[in-house]
Amino acid sequence: MKFQDYYETLGVPRSASADDIKRTYRKLAKEWHPDRHPPHRRAEVEAKFKQIAEAHEVLSDPEKRKRFDQLGEHWRHGQDFQPPPGGGRTMSQEEFARMFGGAFGGGGGRGGAGGGFSDFFGQMFGDMFAGDGARARGGRPSRPQAQRGDDVEADLELSVGEALRGGKRAFELQVHQPCEQCDGDGRLDFGACPACGGIGHARAKKSVEITVPQDVRDGQVLRLRGLGQPGDGAAGDLLLQLHLVPDDVHRMRGEDVEADVVVAPWEALDGTKVEVKLQKGTASVRIPAGTRAGARLRLRGHGLARPSGERGDLLLVVRLGLPESLTAEQQATLRKLGEGSAPVRGGVREV
């Protein structure tokens, strides 16, 4: 098998930190995941993906990385201490201590300071090769600390009406979930997991429900814990930025909300009461007699939260409308009303 320089595979310097290696691996894993490439490149992409996964496996493990830095292409066989060819013999632990005691422990046998033979291999290859000496001193093989997954950012459009009414809002989100085939390990007995390509997680749709905050504002960021990138330890968080967009009835006017309220012409003529849904319950609003289309009625403090902590106003814009169905007599009455009337003005209509 051709030697693979894992640093070159990931494109990081030999001095790269664990976080640098982690970030670079995730970027490359996304770029070279087989699902992101056409079928005719599958073999090439899978081979590259396996190289990336192998490089990450070694360089993210402090012990494996240490052996790779010291032994290069022979790092896998660092634990095999072979006698020199040509009739050599295996050196006893005592002989080794006498020969290298000054440099590796400062003395004779197992009782010398630092442990002699065991310390030498402990320094060279880590505690896993230090034998009983390391365990006798209470040492344990070092394990990489569990890494928390990265936070991810997403945007969610929320209509001004939804923000004003409050309540709950459900939406679907693309998330990373631990691979079911390999339990998030990324590897099976025969090598990299084919289901996730060695990443340890796969993309899936997740239905999420949020409660619209009472102080919701445009650009506000909600932190949803545990919905970010998976990690060796806990998953990261999802930082969800809310964007308020107008709907058919509601729109932002500076720090206030403008909403249409539709009344019949005879209601505007004689006056009426209408019920308006607010974030907390409803409000009964009086439309004065003789109100013209386009008139604005201000409900103070019933808008959305302002950055100052106060609430803005709700501006009701009066619109004229007709019932969905009219009798023949009602239609005739409307046509008679229009005979000789002055043209209606307003909006984009040219008169």
Q: What is the per-residue pLDDT across 302-319, written as a single tens digit (0 to 9) for each? A: 999 888 888 899 999 999
Do the beta carbons of residue 312 and residue 303 sit within 8 Å?
A: yes
- The reply to whether 35 falls in a domain is yes
Task: Tell me, yes or no, whether 18 and 40 share the same domain.
Answer: yes
Q: How far is CA 279 from the centre of its chain?
A: 30
Residue 68: CB atoms within 10 Å: 22
CA distances 334 to 326, 329, 338, Å, are 10, 9, 6
Do the beta carbons of residue 294 and residue 282 sit within 8 Å?
A: no
- CATH number for the domain harbouring residue 168: 2.60.260.20
- The reply to whether 136 falls in a domain is no
Query: In DSSP terms, which residues pair with 238 in a beta bridge?
Result: 152, 224
- CATH number for the domain harbouring residue 29: 1.10.287.110
Task: Tell me, yes or no, whether 190 and 219 share the same domain.
Answer: yes
Task: Tell me, yes or no, whether 255 and 224 share the same domain.
Answer: no
Task: Tell me, yes or no, whether 218 and 267 share the same domain.
Answer: no
Residue 145: CB atoms within 10 Å: 10
Q: Are strands 296-299 and 250-253 parallel, antiparallel or unpaired?
A: unpaired
Region 288-294 average pLDDT:
92
Give the domain-ending residue among 230, 245, 260.
245
Inter-axis angle of helices 62-71 and 117-125, nearest 10: 100
Task: Tell me, yes or no, whether 239 and 286 share the same domain.
Answer: no
Per DSSP, the three-state class of 239 is: strand
Do the beta carbons of residue 68 and residue 59 sit within 8 Å?
A: yes
Instruction: Determine whether 120 is exposed, middle or buried from the number of CB atoms within 10 Å of its CB (0-12, 13-18, 19+).
Output: buried
Task: Tell me, yes or no, whether 239 and 256 share the same domain.
Answer: no
- The structure tokens listed for 42 are 């599958």
Domain of 203? 152-245
Instruction: Determine whether 183 is exposed, middle or buried from the number of CB atoms within 10 Å of its CB (0-12, 13-18, 19+).
Output: exposed
**For 36, which DSSP code?**
G
Phi, psi of 208, deg, nearest 5: -125, 140
Region 165-179 average pLDDT:
79
What is the residue-wise DSSP string for 45-67? HHHHHHHHHHHHHHHTSHHHHHH
Task: Tell me, yes or no, whether 236 and 272 share the same domain.
Answer: no
Task: Tell me, yes or no, whether 156 and 240 share the same domain.
Answer: yes
* Whether residue 196 has pLDDT greater than 50: yes
Query: In DSSP terms, which residues pair with 260 in a beta bridge?
Result: 317
Tens of pLDDT along 49-107?
888 888 888 899 898 898 888 887 777 765 444 444 444 444 455 544 554 444 444 44
Tens of pLDDT along 115-147?
444 444 444 444 444 444 444 444 445 555 667
- The reply to whether 147 falls in a domain is no
- The reply to whether 234 falls in a domain is yes
Say what the pLDDT of residue 207 is: 84
Mean pLDDT of the chain: 77
- The structure tokens listed for 340 are 């000789």
Give the domain-ending residue among 41, 60, 79.
60
- The reply to whether 300 falls in a domain is yes
Say what the pLDDT of residue 126 is: 45
Domain count, the chain: 3
Q: Considering just the CA atoms, what is the radius of gyration of the chain in Å? A: 36
Task: Tell me, yes or no, whether 263 and 240 share the same domain.
Answer: no
Task: Tell me, yes or no, whether 226 and 159 share the same domain.
Answer: yes
Of 173, 231, 223, the closest CA to residue 203 belongs to 173
- The reply to whether 26 falls in a domain is yes
Task: Tell me, yes or no, whether 178 and 164 share the same domain.
Answer: yes
Distance between CA atoms of 273 and 287, rounded to whole angstroms? 6
- The reply to whether 123 falls in a domain is no
- The reply to whether 269 falls in a domain is yes
Give the domain-ending residue among 245, 280, 306.
245
Task: Tell me, yes or no, whether 172 and 186 share the same domain.
Answer: yes
Say what the pLDDT of residue 1 is: 54
Do the beta carbons of residue 64 and residue 57 sit within 8 Å?
A: yes
SS3 content of the chain, % helix, strand, coil (to 5): 30, 25, 45
Of 241, 243, 224, 260, the closest CA to residue 159 belongs to 243
Say what the pLDDT of residue 3 is: 76
- Find the distance separating the first CA and the last CA of the chain, reported in whole Å: 84
Region 22-37 average pLDDT:
81
